[in-house]
Amino acid sequence: MNDAAQKIPVIAIDGPSASGKGTVTQLVAEKLGFHYLDSGALYRLLALAAMRRQVSLDDEAALAKLAGGLDIRFEQKDIWLDGERVGDAIRTEECGNGASRVAAYPAVRATLLDLQRAFRKAPGLVADGRDMGSVVFPDAALKIFLTASAEVRADRRYKQLMEKGMHANINRILHDIRQRDERDSARSVAPLQICADASLLDTSSMTIVEAVDAVLAQFRQICVR
């Protein structure tokens, strides 16, 4: 990374599945006029592409090769794969579980690392994921670990899916979330964990607005130092 890029501020927001970090990250970016990176979408896009092209989610080499040639683009709130808008398709539980599986492979993560870092552009970047602060942007100006109880996260995901007209079973969602937490925390490469220099933000009893304000308040404290 060059010196110019290192001077561009990054807010890294990590946390478990369905913690609300994606919505918080996007709103913080809008408030600050910063760029936005949904790193989880990259893994979901890879999982979707693999399932559509019948690439086994157990084949690390094939998945890494596929990751290197993905035709993706982000346009405001729209996400495209191979020229098709797939924002809703990658939010299914099947795709989410697939993303968790492919994200565990070192070769896949290495392939996507440079792509993620390329999102760091002036005037700044707000990035969400599992390892934004620990691996992708270890020099981030602010690192937040945003979480909520598994039950609250399952309820949020259930409501999100129902609002989109998708079939959902809250007990199944809770089971999947707990499995993903265990898998993401136990993987050998870039496990889900709280960085020593990250601030913990538990949103179990917070609204989205309150969570966004909390992140902005911490960033402003850093800016005036």
What's the pLDDT tens digit per position in 95-130? 988 998 998 899 999 999 988 998 999 999 999 998
Domains of the chain by range and CATH? 10-223 (3.40.50.300)
Q: 10 has which bridge partners?
A: 125
CA-CA distances (angstroms) from residue 77 to 73, 87, 196? 11, 8, 32
Residue among 84, 79, 77 at smallest CA distance from 99: 79
pLDDT band, residue 151 (cuts 50/70/90): very high
Least confident of 5-14, 160-169, 184-193: 184-193
pLDDT tens, position by position, 52-69? 999 999 999 999 999 999
Q: What is the distance between the alpha carbons of residues 84 and 200, in angstroms, rounded to a whole number?
A: 37
CA atoms within 13 A on the CB side of 95: 17
Residue found by looking up tokens 């990658």 in the block? 90
Extract the tokens encoding 135. Answer: 């691996």
